[in-house]
Amino acid sequence: MIGKGSFGKVFLVQHKSDGNLYAMKCIRKDVIIEHEQLENIRLEKDILNKINHPFLVNMEFVFQNEQRIYFLMKFIKGGELFRHFVQVKRFPEEHVRFFTAQVALALGHLHENKIIYRDLKPENVLVGEDGYLMVADFGLAKFVQNGEMANSFCGTAEYLAPEMLIGNGHDYTVDWWALGILVYEMMVGIPPFFNRNKHKMYNLIKSGSINFPDPVKHKIFVSDDAKDLIVKLLNKDKHERLGAKNGVKDILDHPFFKDIDMAKLTAKQLDPPYKPAM
C-alpha cells in the first residue's frame, strides 16, 4: 500500500507480462454509494480517460468486480513534490520556474478540455525519476461548459481562491489562483496567507495583502519577475487575474518564463534542474 484516501487504498502493483509498475487505486463501491460519490467517481474516470498530456497522470487501465472499482495509473517513482519540499524547505527560483511551467501547461490542457482541476497543492504534484512533474488526483475536478460557473466548496484551505470562500461561483481562474499560491510556497516555504486559525486565514485570503520576505533579514530572495507573477496570479478579482483573458498563454508569456523553451519542455528535451534521489 502506498496511499490511502476517503474511499479506498492505493497499491503499488506490477504487470505480470511486461513488468511495468502501476499505482492501483481500489475504490470500495459500498463506501462511494453510502457517501453519494458515484457521480464524482464516474467523473474522475471520464477525466482520467480523456486527458493525454506529458505532465498529467492519465488512466492506463480500469476494471471492476462486485466489491470494488480499480483505476490503474503509471507509478511515478519520485513521489509527491510535497515530500521533496519538506526536505529542502524552499526551492531555488530556477527550480520553481521549471516546475511552475509544467504545472501551468498541465492546467492549460485540462482547461482546453473544459475541466477545472480545483485541487492544486504539492501533495498532488508527482516528481518523476527524470525530474519532470505530473499532476495527479482528479477527485475534485469538474467538467464545465463555456461561461458556466461551478459552485461546490472544495479544495485545500491554504489554496482556496477568494471567490470559492465568498461562494458566488467560480471558473477556471481558481486554478490560476492556486498556481500563484504554489509558486509563493515553493519559493518562500509557506503559503502567503497561512494562519493556524482557519477563520483568520480565510479573511486574509479575501482581503489580506501579499507580503514578501526581507532578503536581508529572512535570507529569502524573490526576484521582481517572480513577485510580479505571484501578485498577478493572486489578484482577488478573478476577472483581472492573470490567465482570465487568454488562459495558459497569459501565464507562459510572463517574463518569469522568458528563458524556457516551452516546446522543448513539453517534449522533455530540457535538462531538469532537480532530480529526486531514488
How far, in Å, CA of 119 to CA of 141, rounded? 7
Distance, C-alpha 223 to centroid of its chain: 23
Active-site annotation holder among 18, 30, 46, 119 = 119
Beta bridge pairs of residue 72? 24, 61
HEC string of 191-238? CCCCCCCHHHHHHHHHHCCCCCCCCCCCCCCCCHHHHHHHHHHCCCCC
| DSSP, residue by residue, 146-199 | TTPPB----S-GGG--HHHHHTS-B-THHHHHHHHHHHHHHHHSS-TT--SSHH
* Distance between CA atoms of residues 100 and 178, nearest Å: 11
C-alpha cell at position 133? 512533474
What does the CA dihedral 252, 236, 238, 180 come to, rounded to 10 degrees? 30
Residue 214 designated active-site: no
The alpha carbon dihedral of 192, 193, 197, 198 has a sign of negative
Q: What element of type H or E holds 88?
A: helix 81-88
Let me know: does 101 contact 273? Beta carbons within 8 Å: no
- Residues catalogued as catalytic: 119
